[in-house]
Amino acid sequence: MAQWTSAVGAAQLARLLNSQQDRPSGPGSRRPPAYRALADGVRLLVLEGRVPVAARLPAERELALALSVSRTTVAAAYEALRAEGFLESRRGAGSWTAVPAGNPVPARGLEPLPPEALGSMIDLGCAALPAPEPWLTRAVQGALEELPPYAHTHGDYPAGLPALRSMIADRYTARGIPTMPEQIMVTTGAMGAIDAICHLFGGRGERIAVESPSYANILQLMREAGARLVPVAMAKGLAGWDMDRWRQVLREAAPRVAYVVADFHNPTGALADEDQRRRLVDAARSAGTVLVADETMSELWLDPDVEMPRPVCAFDPAGSTVITVGSASKAFWAGLRIGWVRAAPDVIRSLVAARAYADLGTPVLEQLAVNWLFGTGGWEQAVEVRRVQARQNRDELVAAVRRELPDWEFEVPRGGLTLWVRTGGLSGSRLAEAGERVGVRVPSGPRFGVDGAFEGYVRLPFTVGGALADEAATRLAAAAHVVETGGTTGAETPRTFVA
């Protein structure tokens, strides 16, 4: 019986391998043999989750043709991977990827670092800050006071607590977007919201247009749902969307759904302006595409003179095109798993009906906590503290990276939680692996792209500041030195890899 559960074609694997840029040659650098470079490339793809564990690899002859190398090179690379525990083979069944005993199975998205590892590893993988106190404690205490009446019910509210739905609707209305509670569904975080939307509109085989780059976990969620991702390149730097490309993709590919982050885009930090928002809504409406606008970062402007554009849904007064997703996780705390969807009432009814086969509803106590924050002014106070903290972290991290890695290029975003960095020609995948060994965890650029794009990038979140930001930059510089000089990456297995 075969031990593999999926397969990777020769052409697909060749694209992923070719996206890994060669290390720059310079004084002290050494280029590994061709078979070693190939084995390293496959191993990196497995460690980053871009090639899943238990995936059948192409036959040696097929891969050799796709890569324009000799079959002997591929055979030697496969043998090296078998010796290191990253490949298993059996006559008649082929070869499939594996991880050595004792190694965690790599994730294909971005997962938080286990708390027990925080003492030795600086975590730049998760773009989330600690809870703002005392507002979290006060919100939970306020929720407990409001809990008794709900405790006498079954506790399942598929659309969300009526009080919170009304509160969220009122907040949209106050922003100039008239909204009824019937247009709101409370979800278990933004991920829960987008998962529900994808299952309703983006079934297996459906095209979904996504920004390129985009948020890694959302991309993986869509892949797992069986969607066909259609990448649309972002405009250069922090300029937002390239509207010519969006119009072309929407017209020619006719995707069922498009997913965008207009407010301090993850990972680039770009802020789409009002004209871009209006034009994208118009293009989506003409193409019959459902436009999902993720505004989880919308309240995280960091510079006081930022003028926020109107929400994307403001340009869809009929409510037939735009579905908006919001969340408490980024602006307040990731541990408070409350998100919401704003859409036309018929869409909300369909989403709510589908919850009978999913999670039935969102935890009551957490909904009451968010409702307390919204109703008492605690939310605004806590988010202001969050902005101050993120702004300071951003400025200190930027200074540290510029000092330690002057060849790395980036533009400083005016909001959000992430810095999108071009790594001076170095492979982001190799930097991520080397970082694990020197004590800094950083996600590589390809996690935020489709089919190996953005190998020359990493994402750095504003989660550390002060001395910790300095140390993180120092460790990143050490990782860059390993990659530049051709440090050992073959026989040595990282001590941990959680991505």
Q: Which residues contact 122 (CB under 8 A, 6 or more apart)?
A: 439, 440, 441, 464, 468, 471, 472, 475
pLDDT, mean of residues 80-98: 89
Helix (H, G, I), strand (E, B) or coil at 155: coil
| Residue 112, pLDDT above cutoff 90 | no
Distance (Å) of CA 364 to CA 288, 350, 356: 36, 21, 17
* Nearest to 450, CA basis, from 231, 225, 250, 256: 231
* Nearest to 441, CA basis, from 13, 107, 189: 107
Q: What is the pLDDT of residue 161?
A: 97
Taking the CB of residue 352, how many other CB atoms lie within 10 A of it?
17
The C-alpha atoms of residue 339 and residue 383 are separated, in whole angstroms, by: 16
Of 273 and 492, the structure prediction assigns the larger pLDDT to: 273
Helix (H, G, I), strand (E, B) or coil at 258: strand
66 near 60, Cβ under 8 Å? no
Q: Which residues contact 68 (CB under 8 A, 6 or more apart)?
A: none
Helix (H, G, I), strand (E, B) or coil at 452: coil
140 near 363, Cβ under 8 Å? no
| Residue 282, pLDDT above cutoff 90 | yes
229 near 252, Cβ under 8 Å? no
Q: How confident is the model at residue 499 (pLDDT cuts 50, 70, 90)?
A: very low
**How many angstroms separate the most distant Cα atoms in the chain?**
73
Q: Exposed/middle/buried for 297, CB within 10 Å: 0-12, 13-18, 19+? A: buried
The C-alpha atoms of residue 223 and residue 107 are separated, in whole angstroms, by: 13
Q: State the Rg of the chain over Cα.
A: 23
| Residues 339-388: tens digit of each pLDDT | 999 999 999 999 999 887 778 889 999 999 999 999 999 999 999 999 99
| Residues 153-180: tens digit of each pLDDT | 998 999 999 999 999 999 999 999 999 9
Q: What is the pLDDT of residue 452?
A: 66
125 near 443, Cβ under 8 Å? yes
413 near 238, Cβ under 8 Å? yes
* Nearest to 258, CA basis, from 323, 190, 327, 186: 323
| Residues 227-266: tens digit of each pLDDT | 999 999 898 889 999 999 899 999 999 999 999 999 999 9
